[in-house]
Amino acid sequence: MEMECYTHSLGVAAVVLYLSFCILSTTILATTELEDENVNWRSNEEAMNLYESWRKEHAYTLLEEKENRFEIFKDNLRFIDEHNAGNHTYKLGLNKFADLSCDEFGSMYLGTYVKRNGSEHLTLRSSSYKSASSSKEITAEKLPSSVDWRERGAVTSVKDQRTCGACWAFAATAAVEGINKIVTGNLSELSAQVLLDCDNYDYYFNGNAGCNGGLPDLAFEYIISSGGIVHEDDYPYHARNRYCFLDKRNKEVVTIDDYRSIDDEKALQAVVAKQPVALSIYIKRGALTFYKSGIFTGPCGSDSIHSMTIVGYGVDNGIKYWIVKNSWGADWGEDGYIRMERNVADTKYGLCGIAKAAIYPIKKSPNRIYTSSTTRLDKIHMFLIILGIPQYYFLVGKITGGRIQDFT
């Protein structure tokens, strides 16, 4: 009996061991098949055909870099495919950034990056940031369920900052263009380049840095202190840093009187119901880079900051969203725009901190036309700039409070 019992126990043990071996073998086989599937995600030939097709549309890659760029392209393509295979509210797609690494993309296209007392920092707002009135005061009135300032004619065409970190300048000008249309009835495209060239006299202390980065609130301060901002036609965009050669004589400038910040998402909705708003958000490179359509729900990050402009809000299939104008060209996203999830649960500032550094310009004064002549100090400054003495530029900027940019 005992022997039978022992023999039975041994049999059970053998069965258990056999079943365990089968389960382990099945797991290993499934894992191997999954790894093979990942390895064979797309054939190299298929990926190369896609790359060649992409290069025909975006033919700027040097031939000697082709092999390296192809490897980066494949990594990005895999990232896009894996995302689109999942259950998400937005889709990714190949675009002009498809052969750039994350670091390359960040250095070329993300420009909310400024210097503070000689050292570089990522920041969402300047030290002189102006706070708005309380959220309760802002949100006291009943708000419409949806707003789109594009439909109301308060939004200009989507711009392309190209390989210049000028997102902060385009975010600021878009917000000013919006309030100018609302107050005066005129929609004017304003110069982002003048902000790159002329709003940097205090760069080494507390200011913007052209293509190297900046903040929309500092751009508003420049527009106020310099008496207004010129039109795009009078100072066109060049996507690079240049000296400030601005002659405003006999030219109309658009003015603003002040600006305010917003401290939460509810207050942000109330302001967007009245005008477009500039914002700076923390982003995670990748998902935003290749955004194609739908409502973006993240992921967000903390390694990069990007500035854009909110031009409305709405609801789609029960998901509330912001309508955000970007400056990466009309061939990115939804014709240059992105819809970002709104009223995210358990957050004060919203998705990616969208309300943490949202600011809006205030306009009461009419626009004006400069008629005065160039001052003697301006002529001296321009002469020294031509001689290549930029240090004098910063000194004069300190002396004149930054108004040397006017040349009026």
Q: How many other CB atoms are there within 10 angstroms of residue 400's CB atom?
A: 16
Locate 294 and state its tokens.
Answer: 């739908």
Of the residues 200, 326, 352, 381, only one is catalytic, namely 326
Q: 76, 102, 164, 167: which is the annotated catalytic residue?
A: 167
- Alpha helices for 110-246 (secondary structure H): 135-138, 167-184, 193-198, 216-225
Query: Residue 85 corresponds to which tokens in the numbers above?
Result: 């295979």
Q: Is 102 a residue of the active site?
A: no
Is the bond preceding 366 in cis, omega lying within 30 degrees of 0? no
Instruction: Count how many residues are written for the chain.
Output: 408
Out of 244, 306, 352, 381, which one is annotated catalytic? Answer: 306
Q: How far is it, in rounded angstroms, from Cα 277 to Cα 262? A: 10
Copy the structure tokens of residue 159: 């711009």
Concatenating the DSSP letter of every residue in 153-166 gives T---PPPB--SS--
Residue holding tokens 């919006």?
178
DSSP state of 396: H
User: Is 326 assigned a catalytic role?
Assistant: yes
- Active-site residue 198, yes or no? no
What is the rounded CA–CA span in Å between residue 281 and residue 112? 9
Q: What is the Cα 142 distance to its own chain's centre?
A: 30
- Provide the annotated active-site residues: 167, 306, 326
